[in-house]
Amino acid sequence: MTQPKQHATPNRRRFLRTTGLLVGGLALGVSAAGSAAAGVSVANGWYEEEEIYYIAHGVEEGVTERGENDIYLIGGDRVWQAQVVEFIPGDSGYSPHWNVNLVQTATGVTVDDIVASAYVSDHYPEALFDDVEDILAAENAGLVTIAKPGVVVLCPIVPERVADAPGNTELPEDFPRPWPDTF
């Protein structure tokens, strides 16, 4: 039997939105005023049901795994929704280097089966998943498979004001709808 989800408390959510994400920005040389080098690609993602932002520097060539920090791609790289991350700045295990995990529907399972489960995001249809715990529980329930292709990406988490800074390019957040039967 699956245990009820333990998600961020209101205080933790406030921390994520303010000072907690500042750590990621400071590690990048982002000032407290929230400016960053112009011209970086910024993406949204999900962590414990909360939207987060990161700079998308891309694949780290020649690296197949690094640390314990995982990022989950639902059906591919921003194909159907924003990525879901396991850790954020301030969490033990956080690093801007992410081990890629590709999430796909299990054989014989449809998106409707996932939507009917306890693991679907409250943000559906914007996001099928918004929490790593739900992805792992869906895998344990036989709803999805998770492949580790041996790819590491560099994507430091930053505060929203850095994501919105002039000169930065936000990756599209308009994902195709409706969801396919499988992904």
> Tens of pLDDT along 5-22?
444 444 334 334 333 333
Q: What is the DSSP string of 49-101?
A: TEEEEEE--EE-TT-S--TT-EEEEESSTTSSS-EEES--TTSTT--SEEEEE
Contact 139, 84 (CB under 8 A): no
Which of helix, strand or coil describes residue 16?
A: helix
Q: How far apart are CA 176 and CA 143, in angstroms?
A: 21
Q: How far apart are CA 103 and CA 149, in angstroms?
A: 11
> Tens of pLDDT along 70-111?
999 999 999 999 999 999 999 999 999 999 999 999 999 999
